[in-house]
Structure 1
């Protein structure tokens, strides 16, 4: 039986889906007006903002003679921006809810429903595209398909399927007796170049649009080390080569120096975290042209005391080192893209990462570009990331100037994806 709160929740969800359903919009044309928009390429605010939208895309920006459209939506006092992108999320993960036993207590259906709820939170926070880097039983792929088919609201999702690493490594769900979760390449556990190749092929077969590997140990797993290299260079290269053979990019969780260097030399497209980055490792990353996706807000958002003692020790070990590594990456002029590791802390708080980065020396403009222009390049989505004719109408709006106060990105007032409105300010 549905209680009144549940009925209201169901009604709200139904209304949201009606508002955003592509079938209802047909080829409707829309004029979107705001006080200003952010030109991320030039790094300037342009006033006023008049955006014409048709068939999911932007067809005109501040035209000299605005055409007549089916309807007009006005956003007084707001600044329009491209929809934000997060290159490192885990939709099915919720550390605050408890996660250590999800692999043996949650079905794929459970994880998909959890992830769908988190996808909606992420979209409402202004993130219209995400790269989800690892989920069991292809739950992330299922969520991506459901969003694409209009079954549930969420951002565009580039899903990885199972992340792949060595037996007992960071990508292995460790701590269980051998009869529980037997390791296999299909589940992302590989111990030779051939097995890494097989693991990548399996993820792609079942819908992965990006490949994720674990090049080193990490905080949220049971190894004693926080950053030691795990797969060999040959294993890492086998995974990278196979991903590229299929036209996909590959991301590598890599914390310590040796693993960062090996991942870059293997040809991965992005290094995730790099919490213990060194000048030598930074130079190898720069030389090979890999992107860096730091995840910094979680360092202070997660209370180490809430973790098991062994994990708490590792978390404390990298907390300050990660911040220094980010400063080093800025000095080395590495290609930095926005990522959060959302799921380690609550989904929907993704934008809190911006302020942390600016406090560590990144300009507000570069922080925003890392989540728009630069993310577009890494994620291979050239059809978004700017307010520009011909690109998808993935847009958000905030109050004020994000180039003077990035914290306003934590309170997104308007969200549009592919020309469909998912969130807007209440009418006066």
Structure 2
């Protein structure tokens, strides 16, 4: 996961006798995006355009991160301060040149399309405003839906947004990904961040995530979760 405080998080990784921790450190964000203005991420990490991608990724490599996390959002959404498609593609290319996997945060069709077109390796979350379009899958894609987080967000703020969020769309999106043979990982987006719209607990949320994945269609021998992450 990404973090506002990599100086505190990164030293906790890969220590003997403790549960292992993997982190992206700072995520790739657009200038003026919500994580910077509302969630405490520092403004100096913002990626201003494609020409800034290499420097951002090189800085994360020097930090010793395990992968690159990119906030993919719909750049056409009114009021959104989002990374443009060329910037997202440049970040993915730079990550791959440095031997890092690129992981995208995406919660609607437009951001999923950015993830697919840029060639990211893993996508976290699933659409909530509508069911994922059938064309937004590809061979080799890995998805970590975090259904327990999607359900929580829909319950807390889903009805207050201009485009209402519906958990059934998230559930149906996971089913569509599974039917397309996309690899599904179990993850919860567990956090204790007071600025987050929902905070799944770090322990029992994973058990609930597994139940929700089964409810979304991952049933039967060899159809469960292949790997468990956070």
Contact in 2 for aligned 1:190/1:196 (Cα 8 Å): yes
- Structure (1/2) with the larger strand percentage: 1
Match among 236, 239, 242 for residue 88 of structure 2: 236
1:330 aligns with 2:178: yes
- Alpha-carbon deviations, 1:23-50, whole Å to 9, x = none? xxxxxxxxxxxxxxxxxxxxxxxxxxxx
Report the alpha carbon displacement of residue 260 of structure 1 after superposing the two structures with TM: 1.2
CA distance in 2, matches of 1:292, 1:209: 18
1:206 aligns with 2:69: no
Match among 3, 18, 32 for residue 154 of structure 1: 18
Higher relative contact order (CA 8 A, sep 6+): 1
Contact in 2 for aligned 1:254/1:274 (Cα 8 Å): yes
1:255 aligns with 2:112: no
Q: Which residue of 2 aligns with 1:134?
A: 2
Q: TM-score, normalised by structure 2?
A: 0.80
Q: Which residue of 2 aligns with 1:173?
A: 36
Report the alpha carbon displacement of residue 181 of structure 1 after superposing the two structures with TM: 6.7
CA distance in 2, matches of 1:329, 1:181: 31
CA distance in 2, matches of 1:334, 1:348: 26
- Alpha-carbon deviations, 1:106-128, whole Å to 9, x = none? xxxxxxxxxxxxxxxxxxxxxxx
Question: Runs of 5+ in structure 2 lacking a partner?
Answer: 192-198
CA distance in 2, matches of 1:296, 1:369: 13
Q: TM-score, normalised by structure 1?
A: 0.45
Contact in 2 for aligned 1:193/1:238 (Cα 8 Å): yes
Contact in 2 for aligned 1:233/1:263 (Cα 8 Å): no
Contact in 1 for aligned 2:30/2:47 (Cα 8 Å): yes
* Number of aligned residue pairs: 214
Find the structure with the greater CA-based Rg. Answer: 1
Distance 1:182 1:173, change over 3 A: closer
Q: Which residue of 2 aligns with 1:30?
A: none
CA distance in 1, matches of 2:187, 2:42: 31
CA distance in 1, matches of 2:213, 2:24: 26
Match among 193, 201, 216 for residue 346 of structure 1: 201
CA root-mean-square deviation: 2.9
Report the alpha carbon displacement of residue 346 of structure 1 after superposing the two structures with TM: 0.6
Report the alpha carbon displacement of residue 319 of structure 1 after superposing the two structures with TM: 2.0
Question: Runs of 5+ in structure 1 lacking a partner?
Answer: 1-132, 218-222, 376-428
Contact in 2 for aligned 1:357/1:367 (Cα 8 Å): no
Match among 272, 278, 282 for residue 133 of structure 2: 278
Distance 1:348 1:290, change over 3 A: same
Report the alpha carbon displacement of residue 207 of structure 1 after superposing the two structures with TM: 1.7
Q: Secondary structure at the match of 2:56?
A: helix
1:292 aligns with 2:151: no
CA distance in 2, matches of 1:281, 1:365: 26
1:197 aligns with 2:61: no
Report the alpha carbon displacement of residue 325 of structure 1 after superposing the two structures with TM: 0.8
Q: Secondary structure at the match of 1:237?
A: helix
Q: Which residue of 2 aligns with 1:320?
A: 168
CA distance in 2, matches of 1:207, 1:200: 11
Report the alpha carbon displacement of residue 302 of structure 1 after superposing the two structures with TM: 6.0
Report the alpha carbon displacement of residue 140 of structure 1 after superposing the two structures with TM: 2.2
Distance 1:157 1:312, change over 3 A: farther
Report the alpha carbon displacement of residue 355 of structure 1 after superposing the two structures with TM: 0.7
